Amino acid sequence: MMRTYGNLLRYMQGNLGMVHFILFMTSLYLFVRAIRQKEYRISLALAPSVIIMFVSEQLICFSLNEGSLITQREAVKEIVRAYDSIPVVTIVVITLLIAVLEGVLAYRLRKSRLGMISLFSVKEAMDSLPTGILAYQPQGGIVFINKAMEQLSLNACNTYLVDGNEMSKRLMENETSDIRFPVGNHALISLKDGRTYQLYSSRTECAELNVELLLASDITEDFEKTKELREGADNLKIINEQLVEKNKNIVDMITSREILNAKVKIHNELGALSLRLRRYISEENRSEEEAESIREELQNTLTFLKSSGEPETEDECSQIIETAKVLGVDVRTTGEIPNAEKTRHILACTIHECLTNTLRHAHGDVLFVNLKNEKNTLEVMVKSNGEQPKENITERGGLKSLRMLVENAGGTMSVTSTPELILTLILPKEDEDV
C-alpha cells in the first residue's frame, strides 16, 4: 500500500511544512523581484509556485493543529483529510519540481539584472572614470558628482562642498594653485600634491532642466612632458645662439688665416720681385717691357699691403666682401641683401665658403651672388667664373657645416655640379625682412 502524507510521523510532517514555507518565501521574493525588473514572463511562471506553496504550507499547519478553532469546521476538515490522503511521492515530486523551477528562474533573473543599465550601474561606471564630473542646477543644487570630482574638491578646497556654484567657482578660481590659467570656460590648475588638472565648464539641457557641467581632466603627465619640451627648446635656443657666435668667430679666424696666407704669398712674391729688380739693374741691356712688368707687379703688391688691414665695418656680409676684394676676388651681388641678422649671417657663411672654393680649387676672380626675394622666402644662388668641377661635388667640411646651419634655420640647400657649379639656398624670411 502506498504511503500517504497522513501516515507520516508528526516531526516529518513538520519538516515538510518547513521546506514548503521556505519555498513559498523564495518564490514570493522572486515574484516581487521579477516585477521590479519588468520580467513579467518570469513573474507569471512563479505565480503558480507561490500559490501552491502557500496552500500546501497552510494545510500542513492545519493538519498539525487539529485542536484549533478553524480546523473544527467541516469544510476545513474535509480539505485536510483530502491532503492527508495524497501520496508522499507526489508531494516530494511536486516539491522538487517547484524547487528546480525557482532555481532556474532565479538564475534567469540574475542574468537579466547583469545585462540591465540601472541608475546604480551608471553611478558605478561614472565613479570608475579618471575624469571628474560635476552636474548641478543654476541654483547650486548638485545633480550628479563622481568620486574623482569629490576627491579633487577635497584636495583643492580642503573641504566637501554641497553647493555646485561654489564648488565650480572655487575650482576655476583656485588661488592656492601654483599654476592657474583661467581663460573663459577653461582653466588649468596645479595642486600641492603635484597633480595638474584641466577644467572645462559648459551648460547643457537634461530632462528639460538646464544643468551646469564641470569636467576635470588629469593632465599631469602631458603637462610635465610639455614642460620638459619647453625647457629643452629653451636649452636648444641657448646652444644655437652659442653655436652662431662660435661660427662667427670661426669665420673671423678663417678670414684672418686666409689674409695671413695671402700676405705670406705676397711676401714671397715681393722677395722674388726684389731679386728680379736687382738682376734688372745689374744688366746692361735693359728693356722697357721688363721695366713695365716689374713696375706693375710692384704696384699691385704695395696696393694689397696697404689695404690688408682690419676691415672698418663690423657687418659680416660687408666684411667678407671686403676680404674677398683684398684676396683678389670681386663679389658681385644682385638683389637686396636681407636686414635680419640671422639671414645675413647665413649669407656671409655662404659667400665665405664659395670664396674659399674659388681661391683654392676654381682659381677664379669673380663670385656672382644672386638674391631673389619671394613673399616668404629668400633664394640665394652663388657661382664663380673659375674652373668647373669635372665630377660631382661631395659635401664635406665647410659645405656640410653650411648645410646644417641652413637646415637648422628652416631652409634648404642644393649643390649643382654640371654644367657649372651652383650653390642654391632657400631661406625663410625673418620678421625684419617680411
- Convert the pLDDT of each residue in 283-327 to its tens digit: 766 677 777 777 777 776 666 555 555 444 457 788 888 888 877
Q: What is the pLDDT of residues 32-43, one digit of tens each?
A: 988 888 888 888
Report pLDDT for 382: 93
Residue 351 CA to residue 369 CA, distance in Å, equals 8
- Do residues 46 and 32 make contact, with C-beta atoms less than 8 angstroms apart? no
* Whether pLDDT at 117 is above 80: no
186-190 and 196-206: which strand pairing?
antiparallel
Instruction: Find the mean pLDDT for residues 15-43.
Output: 87
Total-model pTM? 0.38
Residue 110 CA to residue 105 CA, distance in Å, equals 9
Q: What is the pLDDT of residues 66-103, one digit of tens each?
A: 666 666 677 777 887 887 888 888 888 988 998 898 89
* Whether pLDDT at 434 is above 50: no
Report pLDDT for 116: 64
Residue 319 CA to residue 311 CA, distance in Å, equals 6
265 sits in the region (left: phi over 0; alpha: psi -120 to 50; else beta) called: alpha
What's the order of all strands across the beta sheet hosting 209-218?
142-145, 132-136, 209-218, 196-206, 186-190
Q: What is the pLDDT of residues 184-227, one digit of tens each?
A: 677 888 887 788 888 888 888 776 778 888 888 888 888 888 88
Report pLDDT for 177: 56
5 secondary structure, DSSP code:
G
- Do residues 213 and 201 make contact, with C-beta atoms less than 8 angstroms apart? yes
Q: In 3D, which of 110, 93, 99, 97 has the Cα closest to residue 25?
A: 99
Helices vs. strands in the chain: H and E counts, helices first: 12, 10
Q: What is the pLDDT of residues 366-425, one digit of tens each?
A: 999 999 988 888 999 999 988 888 788 888 777 888 888 889 888 999 988 878 889 999
